[in-house]
Structure formats: structure tokens, C-alpha cells
Structure 1
């Protein structure tokens, strides 16, 4: 048995391979993908920050109906008033009307202000405790001490995400069991929480050994890893496991729209950009018309902007368009070759065996 497969992460979580599937928010995760990755020996993950308590319980039950292996659920830690933004009707109208020309172009009605832009975080946490997944991972900071303590009582392993050494130290001090060191190559949101994300744009292979030297808890490497070479390099730099996002996002089993999946395999995936245009928070995706036209424009705060562009994205997808919706994508997308999760896990294992076996 190849030594790279044995680590504190794989041993603690009962995994055959120290590979974590990145948790995708906004409906991009799927039960089928989680089950496929977990069945293949990795840790399947489901981004649950858009689900209410009942939704989390349903998803957990559906995953367990497909696999008895460990899996993770992921939540976003609230920031400032993101859990329940106080927005007047006039303020909502101002933010919405900036996008009105796009809705008109797509022949879609302007959306009305919702009662809430996101489910309540406290309700989500309570549901997680009922569901009792093997792992609960967090982004955008550390949960409150009582949340960490309750997870420990229930036997739920907690994982945080860091974009800097200082954030890694803070997560360890908060009592989390493991952390993900996230390089700026990663697709989706920059999960910084101690400073503006624009000030912490460090590549994984510079960040990883510094984090490894700074903390004692297990470190999972993320950002720019899409094949066995990335896994081997991360393990040699001190990672106890790797987290892979874009390669799994591109799999047929994911919740990604077919238009998005095809874009990940297209030449367009060579050109990604960090932007706040889609959610109000900095995130990496394929550069498209909306990203280009949003430069220098005012953007509503998260989660208001996220909700508004989510409505726009639905209309764009219905029209078969990729120019007006988010296409989350990491910088390793040009390395993608495989379109099914089980085959991807096999490829990752075989390639890493060849290098480290």
C-alpha cells in the first residue's frame, strides 16, 4: 500500500485516500457526487449554506441512502449582518435596478424582494447536529466555541479554511480539528476572514509549508490541484490531505449546469478572474461579459448581490447563455480530462501512486 494514502486525515476520518471533494455552495453540490467520492475512498462534501434546516436533513438522509461511508457538510460562518441583512425596499430596488438591463435582455421579470436572502445560520447548525455527519466544515471564519464544543460532544470532526498563516493559527486556537490551507488558485470564493481577501492572495505552494510550520493540527491543501502531480507536490510540502474542487465540479455527477461543465473543459477556462460582481464577495470564475461589464461598478453586499445574480443566472441558463452567470473555476481547469467522479478518483490514485508509490 502506497505511503501517501496514509495520513492523520485519512486515519481520523476512515478514508482509503486522503482526498477531499471541495464543497460547492449555491446548489452546485449533489448527493450523487458526494456518494461517488465517498464510495471511491475519499471524503464527499456537500455545501449546505443555501439550505434551511429541513433541507439539510433531507440531503443528509439522501446521502446516507447512497453510501454508508463518511461525508462532510459545509456551512458559511456569518459575517457582520450577512445572516439577516436589514435592507429597505428602496435600497433593494437600487441594487436590483442596476441589473435591470440584463433581466430585460433575457426577457425575464425583475425579482421581488424576498423575505430572507439566506436561511438562518442557527437553524442550519441545529440541523447539522441532528444529521450528525462525520465532518462539518466551515468557511469565512471559525464558529463560536459552543458550536465547536457541541460538535466534539457529538463526534463530528470540524474543519476550517484559511487563506493566510494568521488565519490558520486562529482556526487552531478556536479548537477546530483540522484546517484547509487555500491558495489563491482555487475556484469559487476566497474564504478570508481576518482581512480583506485582496490582501491575502498567496499561492498554495508558498502558503502550504508556512501553514504546516505554524500549526499542529492536520492541514489539507487546496487550490490548483487537479491531478496526481498536484497531490504529490502537496503531500511533499507537508499536507496531510488535499481538497480538490474544480475537477469534481466538472464531473457529470455534480449539480453544475451542463453549460457550466462544458465551459470548464473549454479554452475559456484558461482565463479566470477574481471578482465581487456575482456575490459581493471575492471569488474566482471564468471571465465573461458580466465580469467585464461589472468592473468599477457598484455591487450590493453579500448575500443581496448573491441572491440577485442567482435570479439572473437562472434566466440566463434558461436562455442557454453563459455570459451573464457565474462560472466558478480554478486555475487548474486546463488540466481537466475526466468527466465522472469514480473515474477521476481512479485517475488521481493511479497518477499519485506512480509518483509516490
Structure 2
């Protein structure tokens, strides 16, 4: 089964919902217009802010699109550990001439989930995906009744089974190569990336464990990779970093430039910016603060928000959260529609090459 078979998009290409501004309405619409499935990121927005962006997308395209929600966080975060980290960031605050007031670490832990879900039930969109957990069966059933196709992000076989049991229509299987946050349902404070699984291996495991369609995500930058994932049993591939550098993307120009800057050659998982494992380019902030950042999401996210904004305003990539997948060096600064077309052509070429090889070997 593919996204095309489900009537979601002509090409098996999904633009990842990148929270923080990158997945803005112009990017989403451009991807949809070109035959891919564009996704708005509902995370880090108010419910009304999300709804206003939904209306913008509807004004820009008549094609199907998706909206991603963050699940509420219920895990325990040690206030003392967060406070200690605030103290460790004092030098950063002084450097960027901002204050880290205690209220900066309060924020909210549910990201306005209930209000956002209510909007999506009242005025449905074609697709809704979830990150950091799995909704309860009642919510998924309500969305299905409203005509919405639901996708749950998973990082393990166990999470995929939970999504299937809850009634999700599909799973987005996220490999360790993926940029940004690992969408684990439960944040293990001991996680350091060593227990995470690569995308191809995880797709194979999930395909044998559940009967749901698979959208594969993690380090995908070329059409040939999409072909490999489809051959492995995925219905589509989800790309984030590949679309991050598009002119329509709302990502900061400094972030876009850093993806192919020789100064940033590798990525790693770090809690430095949010308190949850997220893959990004290794810069000074990651090197200096990553080893000490506590497992406290979204408290650390709120704590570092001002620092990240100040670094961006100063044009300083060394203090920004430069989230990116392992394939970041392959980024192409093409208009989104052109990128979809190029990926689709590369996919077709790879599939034709494979067919030719199979025919030659059979003759």
C-alpha cells in the first residue's frame, strides 16, 4: 500500500513537519502542488496560531496536506536538575546579554494538545500525525470518523504495535539518522543513541510486526534512497532536512547555510537545546552543554528558547539549534516544487535501473 493508493499524494514523498518555523504554509503548499504530501508542524504554536496556518495552506493549495501534533509530556523532570542546568547556561546568557529568569523553565508540558485536537475535529484536515507518543483509541477513532487519516511516529517495534492497537491508519517509522527530535513515546533518561536503530533495519522489523502502511523517515535526501525504502516495504518516505534549505522553508538563513558549511561536518543526538534527544549539527553549544543537559522536556526547551533566539538574531550558528539529519551534506537549495520533481525523477530512474538489472539476471 502506498500514499498514492490511499489518495494522499501522487508521489510517495512526504515533507516532514519541522517545528520551529521551517514547515510554514508556503513550503507545505509548494510540496503539495508538486505532488508530494506537505505537513504543517503544530508544535510550539498556540491552537489559534496553528489554525491560522491551516487556513493559509488551504488558500494556497487545493491538494491534501497534513498537520502534526506533539503529544502531552507526562514524564517526570527533576526541577533541581533543570535549575542546575540554568546555572550552567549563565555564561551563555551573559554572552548574548539576556536573562534566564526562573519563569523561562515553566512553560507548558502539553503544547496545547487538547485545544489543537478539538480544532482538528471541528474543522478536519486530510492527515494528522503525532509525535512523542500515541493518542488514545478514542481520539484516533474520532479523527477517522471526521475523515482524517492518522499517522503515529514510532521508533521501535513496540511503539508500532501500540499504534496499531490504538487504531492508527499508518506509522511513520523514524530511524536514528533523522534530524531533529527522536519521536520516542517515552524518553529514557539513559538514551544516548546507541540503542536506536537505523532506518532500513527498523522498517524491516516494523513491517514484519504490524500490518500498517509505513512512512519511512531518517536521513533521506535522494530519490534512490526512496526507491530502496519502497523496496524494503515502506509506502512512502518522509524528508525533513532535504526541504529545510528550500527558499520557501521558514528556517533561519544561518541554519540553512550551516547544513553545507565545511565547519559543520557531523551530527549527533543531544539534549542540550530541549532536554530530549535531538539530532543536529555539532556546534559549540552542543559540545559545551550537551554532556550536562538533563532529561527534561519541554522544560529545557523553554529554558534555552531565549538563548537560541538571541544567537539567531546575532547570526551566530555556534549558539543555535542546527537540527539536521545525517544526510545534511546532500542538501540542495532548490525550490520545493523542483525538489519534489527531482526526487520523483531520481526515484523512477532507480526503479527502472533495478528492473533492468532483474531482467538481465533473469535472461
Q: CA deviation at 1:121?
A: 1.5
Q: 1:269, 1:333 within 8 Å by CA — same for their partners in 2?
A: no
| Matching residue within 105, 109, 116 for 2:95 | 105
Q: Does 1:246 align with 2:203?
A: no
Q: Does 1:218 align with 2:210?
A: no
Q: 1:148, 1:175 within 8 Å by CA — same for their partners in 2?
A: yes
How far apart, in 2, do the equivalents of 1:320 and 1:212 lie? 43
DSSP-derived class of the 2:171 partner: strand
Aligned to 1:296: 291
How far apart, in 2, do the equivalents of 1:129 and 1:283 lie? 30
Post-superposition CA distance 1:98-156 (Å, at most 9, x none)? 32211111122334615734642211211222331100100112101221111011011
| Matching residue within 27, 33, 38 for 2:27 | 33
Structure 1 residues 268 and 208, CA, compared in 2 at 3 Å: closer, same or farther?
A: farther
Further displaced range: 101-110 or 40-49: 101-110
Further displaced range: 7-16 or 230-239: 7-16
Further displaced range: 265-274 or 30-39: 265-274
Post-superposition CA distance 1:301-352 (Å, at most 9, x none)? 1111101212101101111101112100001112222332111111101111
Count of aligned residue pairs for this structure pair? 347
Q: Does 1:175 align with 2:167?
A: yes
Post-superposition CA distance 1:137-176 (Å, at most 9, x none)? 0011210122111101101110011111121111111110
Unaligned runs of 5+ in 2: 353-363
Further displaced range: 113-122 or 26-35: 113-122
How far apart, in 2, do the equivalents of 1:228 and 1:269 lie? 24
Aligned to 1:141: 133
How far apart, in 2, do the equivalents of 1:199 and 1:284 lie? 13
Q: CA deviation at 1:178?
A: 0.4
Structure 1 residues 91 and 335, CA, compared in 2 at 3 Å: closer, same or farther?
A: closer
Once the two structures are superposed, the pairs formed by residues 117-266 of structure 1 within 5 Å of their partners are: 117=108, 119-193=111-185, 196=188, 197=191, 198=193, 200-266=195-261
Normalised by the length of structure 1, the TM-score is 0.91
How far apart, in 2, do the equivalents of 1:44 and 1:298 lie? 33
Unaligned runs of 5+ in 1: 1-6
Normalised by the length of structure 2, the TM-score is 0.90
CA RMSD of aligned residues (A): 2.1
